[in-house]
Amino acid sequence: MEIINESSTTDFILPGFSDQPQLESIISVVVFIFYIVTLVGNTTIILVTYLDTQLHTPMYFFLSNLSFLDLCYTTSIIPQMLVNIWGPKKSITYGGCVLQFFFALDLAATECLLLAVMAYDRYAAICQPLHYTVIMHPELCQKMVLTSWLGGLGSALILCSLTMKLPRCGNREVDNFFCETPALIKMACVYSRVIEIVVFTLGVVFLLVPLSLILISYGVITQAVMRIKSAGGWKKVLNTCGSHLTVVTLFYGTAIYMYMKPQNTTSQEQGKFFTLFYTVITPSLNPLIYTLRNKDVKNAVKRTLSIEKCSAKS
């Protein structure tokens, strides 16, 4: 307890990419641009799905929740990262590190579950079209989203409390650009089998199980699609499912690589760039993927903009 109390009064150091100064300025500009794209893109989706009544369906209810998650997730990480790159100090307070670690973990775990929920929604829409509105009624959709949020919260409370109790023996350097699980565990001066088991178990529950359910859903969807004769039907299915599958591939691919393999098999520099991908780039691509591949969203954006223009003229 003495070590924990002592460390709780000290700032942590976040070196980020400071060992590669030639890349640091380039990375900061790229991160800033992607952050702006994330803010604009995800805010647009949230506003459009709220304002356009034609998008008041389960699919877009889940999509707006995904956009809100991405907004919160990136905002919990990127501002502090940019402050550290551009400022004289590369540090974060103990309390700030705990909050960043907790919220990033909570939101990432919630997104894992939400992507699985969205896959089930696509299964119901394509494989049970006549009963879709009965199956995916508003109360069930709200419960599914609430379960995703509570599941993420529970996992974050467990892992955060265990990780921050690890003795660090005065070590203050979190070898990453934000307070993330692998880097915080590596700070410990003792080996914890319990933490390793908990991380693996949560990885199975929040990564492998949802991904398995997603793959099962799309396996059934594929069988249903094979029975569709019209080219228009094929195109509609590919438009609605293709966006979700692309997001799933980007998110789960990098997350599983980082969390489901032994930590000592990944170099720290390699780990930083993988982390950069799923914390900065993926959230900015989500709205672009859904907007570019989805006619409903594009038409809704056009309708919303035309309404605003008419209101401004009048």
Task: Count CB neighbours of 73 within 10 A.
Answer: 24
Query: What's the pLDDT score for residue 21?
Result: 76
Strands (E), 177-306: none
pLDDT for 274 beyond 50: yes
pLDDT for 230 beyond 70: no
pLDDT for 313 beyond 70: no
Better-scored residue on pLDDT, 5 or 200: 200
CB 109 within 8 A of CB 185: no
Answer whether residue 79 is part of any domain: yes
pTM across the whole model: 0.85
Answer whether residue 136 is part of any domain: yes
Answer whether residue 160 is part of any domain: yes
Answer whether residue 119 is part of any domain: yes
Cβ neighbours of residue 51 closer than 8 Å, sequence gap 6 or more: 304, 307
Which of 151-155, 166-170, 231-235, 239-243 ranks highest by mean pLDDT? 151-155
Answer whether residue 259 is part of any domain: yes
Answer whether residue 306 is part of any domain: no
Answer whether residue 307 is part of any domain: no
Angle between helices 209-226 and 94-127 (to 10 degrees): 20
Q: How many domains does the chain have?
A: 1
- The CATH number linked to 129 is 1.20.1070.10
